């Protein structure tokens, strides 16, 4: 089975990535619906199959760096909307972002410092932007032999493997995401990667956000990221690994992801890497 890797090399509007993700997710869901209908019809008496079902679309990982954006997961969605309004005057924000409303709205002279985008992924409020490598996995988990929990573990372990490539020890804790030592052991751990996914009929979307440089740190300090009071964020640069290109980090993550799926959870032919 081939894995398509779509890397967007420039800073990309979050809305554009969301549209690409939605198109890829819809394609997988449509194929699943067609396959299911074909299977049911084939069980009817005296029915002869005119054609075999079309081959399934390739699973895809989108890697990118978005414009500055705060996103909320399902646990932090404001009750009045699941999509942002077209104007900032009636911007409905969750409690986690209300204290920084001024950063998300124009004062009439200066544009907002960041966007706000509600999403249907799991988790709470986080930040994405320049200096970060975001990877969205659009996969049919059932076809890959992955349970939802295994999918999260593959994402986390792929990041940990990638960090190890740079000489950094990453680990998981009882809190979500991937963490690194804050200088005084794991008790002072700092978060280097956020993890949040959405599933519909075993089709995954969203994924991870890995901090590569310190550029996102100011934005993280404006919020309680992921609802974790007293926890700090860091980056590869922050732990002494500088000079990295986002594209190289993205390629490394996809390689580690393919290795993890094939080693631990692949079903059938497994995955092979590819570029789009």
The binding site for substrate comprises 121-128, 194-196, 207-209
Q: What tokens appear for 66 in the block?
A: 């978005």
Cβ atoms of 198 and 121 within 8 Å: the answer is yes
Catalytic residue among 226, 236, 246, 271: 226
> How many angstroms separate the Cα of 250 from the Cα of each of 76, 159, 256?
28, 10, 10
Query: What are residue 120's DSSP bridge partners?
Result: none
Kindly give the residue spans of alpha helices, DSSP state H, lying in 59-207. 101-104, 141-144, 148-165
Cβ atoms of 123 and 226 within 8 Å: the answer is yes
Question: Which residues, 6+ apart, have CB-to-CB distance to 207 below 8 Å?
Answer: 61, 134, 135, 136, 137, 155, 195, 196, 197
| Residue 226 annotated among the catalytic residues of the structure | yes
> How many angstroms separate the Cα of 248 from the Cα of each of 148, 177, 203, 212, 251?
28, 21, 27, 11, 5
Q: What tokens appear for 197 in the block?
A: 């996914």
DSSP states of 62-88 as a string?
Answer: EEEEESSEEEE-GGG--TT-SS--SSS
3-state secondary structure of 132: strand
Q: Which residues are catalytic?
A: 226
């Amino acid at each position: 089975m081939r894995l398509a890797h779509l890397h967007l090399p420039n800073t990309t509007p979050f809305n554009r990535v969301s549209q690409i993700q939605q198109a890829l997710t819809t394609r997988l869901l449509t194929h699943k619906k067609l396959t299911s209908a074909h299977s049911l019809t084939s069980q009817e008496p005296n029915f002869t199959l005119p054609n075999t079902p079309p081959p399934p679309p390739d699973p895809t990982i989108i890697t990118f760096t978005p414009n500055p954006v705060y996103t909320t997961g399902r646990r932090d969605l404001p009750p009045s909307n699941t999509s942002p309004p077209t104007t900032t005057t009636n911007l409905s924000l969750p409690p986690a972002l209300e204290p920084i409303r001024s950063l998300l709205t124009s004062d009439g002279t200066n544009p907002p410092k960041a966007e706000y985008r509600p999403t249907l992924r799991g988790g709470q409020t986080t930040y994405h932007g320049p200096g970060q490598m975001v990877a969205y996995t659009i996969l049919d988990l059932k076809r890959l032999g992955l349970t939802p929990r295994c999918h999260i573990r593959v994402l986390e372990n792929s990041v940990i493997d990638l960090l190890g490539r740079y000489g950094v020890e990453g680990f998981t804790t009882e809190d979500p995401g991937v963490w690194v030592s804050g200088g005084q052991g794991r008790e002072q751990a700092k978060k280097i990667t956020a993890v949040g996914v959405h599933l519909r009929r075993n089709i995954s979307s969203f994924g991870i956000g890995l901090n590569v440089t310190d550029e996102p740190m100011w934005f993280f300090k404006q919020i309680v990221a992921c609802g974790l009071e007293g926890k700090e964020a860091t980056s590869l640069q922050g732990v002494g690994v500088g000079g990295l290109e986002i594209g190289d980090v993205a390629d490394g993550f996809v390689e580690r992801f393919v290795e993890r799926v094939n080693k631990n959870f692949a079903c059938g032919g497994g995955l092979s890497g590819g570029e789009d």
